[in-house]
């Protein structure tokens, strides 16, 4: 804790306040969260101040939040999740069929050299990577671009149900834009902020995405090397053990559950990968 006297603290705060106001961003006495859209504008104004204090430029803030409003569609989707309540057999049958397995085996063959390099570097088996890629978006075919990610996550950050969880993703989304990995226009994905062909949430993208093709950008929308290497990097960072089993009850199975904590989904990844092997 600082030993500065109270008047000095007040003076320092006044300087910060004047600087932010001069920059066109006025701090708002906004609620920490809300259950309707009525307080969203005040909350967003307050968040912009916080983002700028954390190093996000005014240019990035203005570009990213242009036209952003409270999205009721996102709230409705958040309240209506049911698929993970299915039994494993039902879920697996719905998600993994002969068509997906055929495409998965085709990807294993097509990207054999790339997968060899990634497995050697990160220690994550190719079957796990291909299973995740297939299950998340059918190898990019089903990736949703319906929602503007920053608007979706801003809505969920303001909503009281999981405000703190999504707020860190909103900060991460701004860092992704500021770094140049994606423009605001490219930030389109799932209703909960999922990005690209393996559906990284922004904080995971920010922390674990890899520029494996060496073009200077971490591209999980269209670069297969970046997509697969980033998935492997995420799993390794969460404790994947090279050369070990991923059956239920193992350390590697627990890592799969770090990818998706729904038991039915984690088990589906594990079983699909085993069938591919």
**pLDDT tens digits, 119-148:** 999 999 999 999 999 999 999 998 668 899
Residue among 129, 132, 142 at smallest CA distance from 228:
129
Quote the percentage of the chain above a pLDDT of 70.
87
Residues 156 and 131 both lie in one domain: no
More reliable by pLDDT, 266 or 31:
266
Kindly report the CATH number assigned to the domain that includes residue 227.
1.10.530.10
Residues 203 and 270 both lie in one domain: yes
Q: What share of the chain is helix, strand, coil (3-state, %, to 5)?
A: 60, 5, 35
In a domain, 34, yes or no: yes
Residues 212 and 170 both lie in one domain: no
pLDDT (0 to 100) of residue 142 = 85
Residue among 148, 151, 168 at smallest CA distance from 70:
151
In a domain, 76, yes or no: no
pLDDT (0 to 100) of residue 32 = 85
Rounded mean pLDDT of 55-61? 98
Rounded CA-CA distance 199/127 in Å is 18
Confidence of residue 23 (pLDDT cuts 50, 70, 90): very low
Quote the percentage of the chain above a pLDDT of 90.
83
Confidence of residue 83 (pLDDT cuts 50, 70, 90): low
Residues 211 and 271 both lie in one domain: yes
In a domain, 205, yes or no: yes
Average of per-residue pLDDT values in the chain: 89
In a domain, 90, yes or no: yes
Confidence of residue 85 (pLDDT cuts 50, 70, 90): confident
Residues 25 and 153 both lie in one domain: yes
pLDDT (0 to 100) of residue 64 = 98
pLDDT (0 to 100) of residue 251 = 98
- Domain around 174: 6-70+149-181
Residues 208 and 268 both lie in one domain: yes
Asked if 115 and 176 touch (Cβ cutoff 8 Å), the reply is no
Rounded mean pLDDT of 182-193? 94
In a domain, 190, yes or no: no
Confidence of residue 27 (pLDDT cuts 50, 70, 90): very low
Residues 233 and 106 both lie in one domain: yes
Number of domains in the chain: 2
Residues 129 and 21 both lie in one domain: no
pLDDT (0 to 100) of residue 14 = 39
Residues 135 and 207 both lie in one domain: yes
Dihedral of CA atoms 155, 161, 165, 170 in degrees, nearest 10, equals: 10
Residues 156 and 233 both lie in one domain: no
Rounded CA-CA distance 174/61 in Å is 7
Taking each helix axis from N to C terminus, what angle separates 112-122 and 98-110, rounded to the nearest 10 degrees? Answer: 80
Angle, alpha carbons 105-106-112 (nearest 5°): 90
Residues 172 and 237 both lie in one domain: no
Quick check: 73 pLDDT over 50?
A: yes
Confidence of residue 215 (pLDDT cuts 50, 70, 90): very high
In a domain, 175, yes or no: yes
Instruction: Give the predicted TM-score (pTM) of the model.
Output: 0.84
Tell me which of 38-52, 136-150, 198-212 is least confident.
136-150
pLDDT (0 to 100) of residue 159 = 97
Quick check: 6 pLDDT over 70?
A: no
Residues 116 and 212 both lie in one domain: yes
In a domain, 1, yes or no: no
In a domain, 78, yes or no: no
Q: Which residues pair with 159 in a beta bridge?
A: 34
């Amino acid at each position: 804790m600082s030993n500065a006297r109270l008047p000095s603290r007040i003076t320092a705060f006044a300087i910060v306040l004047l600087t932010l106001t001069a920059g066109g961003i006025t701090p708002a006495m906004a609620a920490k969260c809300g259950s309707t859209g009525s307080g969203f504008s005040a909350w967003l104004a307050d968040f912009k101040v916080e983002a700028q204090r954390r190093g996000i430029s005014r240019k990035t803030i203005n570009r990213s939040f242009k036209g952003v409003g409270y999205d009721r569609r996102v709230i409705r989707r958040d309240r209506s999740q049911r698929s993970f309540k299915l039994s494993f057999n039902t879920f697996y049958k719905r998600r993994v069929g002969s068509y997906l397995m055929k495409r998965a085996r085709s990807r294993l063959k097509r990207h054999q050299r790339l997968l060899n390099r990634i497995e050697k570097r990160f220690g994550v088996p190719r079957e796990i990577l291909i299973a995740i890629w297939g299950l998340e978006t059918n190898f990019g075919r089903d990736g949703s671009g319906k929602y503007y990610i920053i608007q979706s996550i801003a809505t969920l950050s303001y909503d009281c149900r999981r405000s703190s969880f999504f707020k860190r993703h909103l900060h991460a989304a701004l860092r992704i834009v500021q770094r140049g990995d994606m423009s605001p226009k490219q930030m389109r994905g799932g209703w909960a902020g999922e990005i690209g062909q393996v559906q990284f949430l922004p904080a995971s993208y920010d922390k674990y995405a890899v520029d494996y093709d060496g073009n200077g950008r971490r591209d999980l929308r269209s670069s297969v090397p970046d997509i697969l290497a980033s998935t492997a990097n995420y799993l390794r960072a969460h404790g994947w053990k090279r050369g070990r089993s991923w059956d239920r009850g193992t350390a590697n199975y627990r890592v799969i559950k770090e990818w998706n904590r729904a038991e039915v989904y984690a088990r589906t990844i594990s079983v699909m990968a085993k069938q591919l092997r």
